[in-house]
Structure 1
Amino acid sequence: MTDTDGSRFSNCLYRVEQVQQGEQKAAEACSMNMTQLMSAAGKAVFHQLQSYFPAPARIAVCCGEGNNGGDGYIVARLAQKAGYQVQVFALKPNVELPEPMESDAHKARAAWREQGGSEKPLLDCSPEQFDVLVDALFGVGLNRALEGDPVSWVQRVNGSTTPVVSVDVPSGLNADTGHVPGAAVRAHLTVCLVALKRGLLTGKAQEHTGELKLEDLGIGSTFKQQNEANWFRVNAGRVGGWLAPRSRCTHKGEQGHVLIVGGQPGMSGAVILAMQSALRAGAGKVSAACHPQVQAIVAAAQPEAMVHGIKETDSLEPLLREASAVALGPGLGQGSWSQEIFSQVMETDVLKVIDADGLNLLASNPVRSPKLLLTPHPGEAARLLQMTTDEIASDRFAAATKLREKYGAQVLLKGAGSLLVTDRGRCLIDRGSPAMASGGMGDLLTGLIAGLLAQRMAPAQALIAGSLWHAIAGEEAGKDGERGTLASDLLPHIRQLVNGYGRDDG
């Protein structure tokens, strides 16, 4: 991956196993042992907490039995020394510690007790009695649903208004996949330690991590050198140069021709949005091939586009020959007309962005081709892979990779923390807004990607840049209010983004 990872460690995403196996080697290379690393972790979390909640705030620190709990005991000890009012609640309170101490977590717990700190049972914690709660119950090693007392504790924590700071990962969340198999803490702040775990940024995880802060504990640079990341966050600044400045002598013929294929009766709006998006993306010419019954509606919506009513597939062939890129699926439907149109398009060698009913028809008629750019949401991905939506949600990374393997395509798995598996590697886009939860957003994205393809952007680049700019446009449109934002509200922002305005480093 060369174009989207950038040089920042915060853009590198790792599997939990990589961090667990690699942190000791990185620490040793930095002249630190694991006891010192745990101490650094506790200090980092405490300093983050301190920046939000000054002393003498009331702090509840909830500790488990592993290293995550050890971090919590260090936080408690530092906070007490700094003048905070601290109470520790333990999963197994007041247990006898072994002699000699078997782990760094035991040592941290003993140091808390030596300082006069006490431990109360986890379920004695009433979050509303505190100004902030530190969640140090379970760390990244948890890969199953919580059971017993922790479930009741999570329900109590999530039902309160007390802010929660989670250590490394909110308890109950799978940090490798982003899956939430049962009860999980909804943190206001998650302090991720050593390196970013990929699961914190996708799927339901975004409802649980809150604000995400990375603390590399002084070993991040070394860890990056020793461990190869295979997923990356897309940096907005990196994709900005992928559309070259236009020549003063250019003309529409040099800026590509997008053909939007879809629009059965009753679904003309999808074609219109894709058509408008392709135009605002900068395509020189945009045509739409739709059902004859909606031709007049589509043509009236955008005078700059050329609109053709397609009754027989023979009349589609010359349009396909002229196209630089095809957007297949917006409002296409799945009836006999739709199936004939789909088959005709799939026989051509032109680059094709496939969405909506185009994906549903592809699921029934699988084709493997590098000329495809697939943009499914989880439900469509489930149909393409003959899986359930729950199975997709349980490991979005695996699902995106399987789509790439099965169809040989550039793949975008949409949703919070969108995942892309392309010729340029595997990356994640953690941008966007709840304002985008309205109809037509996918049609807009399809047209945008096709518009970038038409301007000779490489397929992987078009998918990555289009997805990112679509997400940022959604954020900008959502600033006027998350409720009531329409897909068409994104169009002015798309125009700005493809022209280099309003970009940031994300």
Structure 2
Amino acid sequence: MTAIDNVSLAQRVYTVEQVQKGEKPAAEACSISMMQLMSAAGAAVFKHLQQDVKAPAKMAVCCGEGNNGGDGYIIARLAQEAGYQVDVFALSPNKTISSKTDNNAERARLAWRDSGGQEKAVNDCEPQRYDIVVDALFGVGLNRALEGAAAALVHTLNEASAKVLAVDVPSGLNADTGSVPGVAAHAYKTVCLVAHKRGLLTGKAKNHVGQLVLEDLGIGDAFAKQSKATYVRVTTEHIQNWLPRRQPCEHKGDNGHVLIVGGQPGMSGAVVLAMQAALRCGAGKVSVACHPEVQAMVAAAQPEAMVRAVSSQKDLQAMMELANVIALGPGLGQSEWSREVFSWVADHCINTNKAWVIDADGLNILAAHEQKERLGSRVILTPHPGEAARLLNIDSNKVESDRFSALNALRDNYEAQILLKGAGSLVTSDAGQFILDAGSPAMASGGMGDLLTGLVSGLVAQGMPEAEAVVAAGIWHGRAGELAGNEGERGTLASDLLPYIRQLVNGKIT
């Protein structure tokens, strides 16, 4: 498993507090003053601006009162010197500043004025007149909704579909949680400074950040040495060797046996998708235990799987004993049959310490189940925000307002390996905490979660530890969604991901 101590700075993810407290000591360790650090930030963002828009393009730089605004004034001065047509729009234009100020943002502002630069009120900004707009209004310290002139400006930028380059964080986005309590700028690119802030990688942030690039300003190594990352950002390249090459003499018994339990009348497709994902990711054998009324339908969908109807605990017992891992929930429903089956599987897995994955209606039954405090040490939960809310007995909006806190609460309550699904899925496991950098809006259709359930269980069956399987499955699932979505985000079906899942687990594509 990728250890936090052995990953690059680009993979390390921090809280806002960590960056705010750690950047000054890191700069001092590198003999860099905070004014020099601000100058480096402005220069780093300007470098990206030059790559995207060439002089003499028209540029608007929108500056706030804090350090983010100071970065903006430096960018404006550098752009003006390079031949861009620059207008600066300030929240408090022409504010009186003492020439003896020791505030770095104010010193950067005075340097802009000394170069002949002017300031206009943000209310006067007409974004359609500019080739690019630099958002330097508010930085990572903002944890409330934008108000007044700042909110009005961001509304104007968004309505005009302006080309916005964000400095460190799009204004209005909470860089710690990924939530947007009011309005936030839609950037085509965000230049994150010093280190990645966790809120830029998950939740609503995905609608606002655009392309995310990191500039460590020359202090990244020093910062990483003194600040332990809270999350690791994982992509497909980081998990390429997690499934070993098969030996020539391997047979199906060497690659595990998955049992998928679910599929009540009207929801047989869910177990079929989970079954197909488990097969396509390499599980040696896959069985399905389903409601008697759908047994023939499920069996006809995939001849390679073994399908049995379950009317009693006896029907299920032998199947559970043969399986290496049990996936409970796809198409399970919440009927009396569903609740009985849940209890039978839970008792078996807890008593035998068998790996099991709970998703979909399995999670909904779990939310009210008396056994939820004793699930055993080998359980994996894969809730979406609505299911997480039911597990925590809170509103789903509260989950989305702080996905990190919701994930931690789930971990505290259930002591499981947990994947909280959504844009920038989050994982907490025995191996650490991870942000999964894969996925696509093409995946906003039914059945995607069932594929993930089959994929996780199939990897566990092949011998991958649960803490690794939940990360690898989440990444390969998201990447398959990206690849399938390349043919059109609208109309992508869960089954469209299956060919890509097969290629990903075999290392044919990344």
- Flag whether TM exceeds 0.5 (same fold): yes
The 1-side partners of 2:426 and 2:114 are apart by 47
The 1-side partners of 2:363 and 2:84 are apart by 56
Q: Match of 1:192?
A: 192
Q: Does 1:387 align with 2:394?
A: yes
Q: Match of 1:367?
A: 373
Deviation at 1:302, TM superposition (A): 0.2
Deviation at 1:161, TM superposition (A): 2.7
The 5 A counterparts of 1:52-91 are: 52-91=52-91
**Gap runs ≥5 in structure 2:** none
Q: Does 1:411 align with 2:414?
A: no
Classify the secondary structure of the residue corresponding to 1:348: helix
193-202 or 306-315, larger mean C-alpha shift: 306-315
Q: Match of 1:19?
A: 19
Q: Match of 1:253?
A: 253
Q: Match of 2:437?
A: 430
Classify the secondary structure of the residue corresponding to 1:217: coil
Contact 1:5 / 1:233 at 8 angstroms: preserved in 2?
Answer: no
Tell me the TM-score normalized by structure 1. Answer: 0.98
The 1-side partners of 2:118 and 2:465 are apart by 61
Deviation at 1:484, TM superposition (A): 1.0
Q: Does 1:492 align with 2:499?
A: yes
Q: Match of 1:358?
A: 362
Amino acid across the alignment from 2:198: R
Q: Alpha-carbon deviations, 1:321-362, whole Å to 9, x = none?
A: 111011100000001000000000000132111100000001
Q: Match of 2:314?
A: 314
The 2-side partners of 1:399 and 1:370 are apart by 20
Classify the secondary structure of the residue corresponding to 1:411: strand
Q: Match of 1:341?
A: 341
Q: Match of 2:471?
A: 464
Q: Mark the CA change 1:465 to 1:429 in structure 2 (over 3 Å): closer, same or farther.
A: same
Q: Give the superposed CA RMSD.
A: 1.1
The 1-side partners of 2:30 and 2:437 are apart by 31
Amino acid across the alignment from 1:356: A
Classify the secondary structure of the residue corresponding to 1:123: helix
Q: Mark the CA change 1:53 to 1:434 in structure 2 (over 3 Å): closer, same or farther.
A: same
Classify the secondary structure of the residue corresponding to 2:162: coil
Q: Mark the CA change 1:430 to 1:2 in structure 2 (over 3 Å): closer, same or farther.
A: closer
The 5 A counterparts of 1:31-110 are: 31-110=31-110
Deviation at 1:5, TM superposition (A): 7.2
Q: Match of 1:298?
A: 298
Q: Match of 1:115?
A: 115
Contact 2:236 / 2:479 at 8 angstroms: preserved in 1?
Answer: no
Q: Match of 1:402?
A: 409
The 2-side partners of 1:307 and 1:241 are apart by 32
The 5 A counterparts of 1:220-239 are: 220-239=220-239
Contact 2:15 / 2:176 at 8 angstroms: preserved in 1?
Answer: yes
Classify the secondary structure of the residue corresponding to 1:353: strand
Classify the secondary structure of the residue corresponding to 1:242: coil
The 2-side partners of 1:433 and 1:103 are apart by 43
Q: Match of 1:481?
A: 488
- Structure 1's consecutive aligned runs of 4 or more residues displaced over 6 angstroms after TM superposition are none
**Gap runs ≥5 in structure 1:** none
Contact 1:5 / 1:235 at 8 angstroms: preserved in 2?
Answer: no
Contact 1:3 / 1:239 at 8 angstroms: preserved in 2?
Answer: no
Deviation at 1:31, TM superposition (A): 1.1
Tell me the TM-score normalized by structure 2. Answer: 0.97
Contact 2:380 / 2:416 at 8 angstroms: preserved in 1?
Answer: yes
Contact 2:27 / 2:219 at 8 angstroms: preserved in 1?
Answer: yes
Classify the secondary structure of the residue corresponding to 2:75: helix
Deviation at 1:206, TM superposition (A): 0.6
Amino acid across the alignment from 1:461: E
Identity %: 61
Classify the secondary structure of the residue corresponding to 2:157: helix
Classify the secondary structure of the residue corresponding to 2:480: helix
Contact 1:4 / 1:239 at 8 angstroms: preserved in 2?
Answer: no
The 2-side partners of 1:2 and 1:465 are apart by 11
The 2-side partners of 1:36 and 1:283 are apart by 55
Q: Mark the CA change 1:470 to 1:4 in structure 2 (over 3 Å): closer, same or farther.
A: farther
The 1-side partners of 2:407 and 2:280 are apart by 28
The 1-side partners of 2:60 and 2:251 are apart by 65
The 1-side partners of 2:473 and 2:315 are apart by 30
Classify the secondary structure of the residue corresponding to 1:391: helix
Contact 1:375 / 1:414 at 8 angstroms: preserved in 2?
Answer: yes
Q: Mark the CA change 1:3 to 1:239 in structure 2 (over 3 Å): closer, same or farther.
A: farther
Q: Alpha-carbon deviations, 1:278-337, whole Å to 9, x = none?
A: 001111110000000000000000000000011122211111111101110000000100
Contact 1:5 / 1:232 at 8 angstroms: preserved in 2?
Answer: no
Deviation at 1:4, TM superposition (A): 7.0
Contact 1:4 / 1:233 at 8 angstroms: preserved in 2?
Answer: no
Amino acid across the alignment from 2:156: R
The 2-side partners of 1:2 and 1:293 are apart by 45
411-420 or 227-236, larger mean C-alpha shift: 227-236
Deviation at 1:235, TM superposition (A): 3.5
Q: Match of 1:173?
A: 173
Contact 1:93 / 1:119 at 8 angstroms: preserved in 2?
Answer: yes
The 2-side partners of 1:501 and 1:397 are apart by 33
Q: Alpha-carbon deviations, 1:75-134, whole Å to 9, x = none?
A: 000000100000000000111003421300010000001111111111100100111000
Q: Mark the CA change 1:439 to 1:5 in structure 2 (over 3 Å): closer, same or farther.
A: farther
1-10 or 270-279, larger mean C-alpha shift: 1-10
The 2-side partners of 1:196 and 1:481 are apart by 30
Q: Alpha-carbon deviations, 1:125-151, whole Å to 9, x = none?
A: 010011100000000000011111111
The 2-side partners of 1:364 and 1:5 are apart by 39
The 1-side partners of 2:486 and 2:4 are apart by 26
The 1-side partners of 2:148 and 2:80 are apart by 30
The 2-side partners of 1:78 and 1:95 are apart by 21
Deviation at 1:237, TM superposition (A): 2.5
Deviation at 1:162, TM superposition (A): 2.2
Classify the secondary structure of the residue corresponding to 1:446: helix
257-266 or 1-10, larger mean C-alpha shift: 1-10
Contact 1:5 / 1:11 at 8 angstroms: preserved in 2?
Answer: no
The 1-side partners of 2:451 and 2:191 are apart by 35
Amino acid across the alignment from 1:462: A
The 2-side partners of 1:335 and 1:214 are apart by 50
Amino acid across the alignment from 1:500: G
Deviation at 1:242, TM superposition (A): 1.6
Q: Match of 2:143?
A: 143
